[in-house]
Amino acid sequence: MGARGILRTGEGGRLHFWCLGCDETHVVGPSWSFNGDYDRPTFSPSIKVTGKRRITDEEYDRIMAGEKVEIPDMCCHSFVTDGKIQFLGDCTHDFAGQTVALRAFDEEPG
């Protein structure tokens, strides 16, 4: 994966950005429109990532001990516009309803 601006480039025209709400990378493919600005990207349409919430160390230990652990669903839904990520109200993390600047992969949150 190559670095370009605040994004990372991947195979097949994929672009990766760091999501502060999920504390992990999200990926858009060539079917999204991209404004070509690697420092202040805009993608369209919105980006929606769904699945199960990442397990905690404590949950992992319980699972490894044979306990059945229910892991909640997660949703991260956002617009990325002019280098900012607008988290929509259906997000299940603490950034729901907020707009924050995207950060580079190696930049400490602040």
Q: Is residue 77 part of a domain?
A: yes
Q: Is residue 13 part of a domain?
A: yes
Q: How many domains, the chain? A: 1
**Amino acid, single-letter form, for residue 93:** H
Burial of 96 (0-12, 13-18, 19+ CB in 10 A): middle
Do 50 and 62 contact (CB within 8 A), yes or no?
no
Question: Which value, in Å, is the radius of gyration of the alpha carbons in the chain?
Answer: 16
Q: Is residue 55 part of a domain?
A: yes
Least confident of 11-15, 39-43, 51-55: 51-55
> pTM of whole model > 0.95?
no
Q: Is residue 88 part of a domain?
A: yes
The CB density around residue 90, as the number of other CB atoms within 10 Å, is: 12
Q: Is residue 26 part of a domain?
A: yes
pLDDT tens digits, one per residue of 46-89? 999 999 988 899 999 999 999 999 999 999 999 999 999 999 99
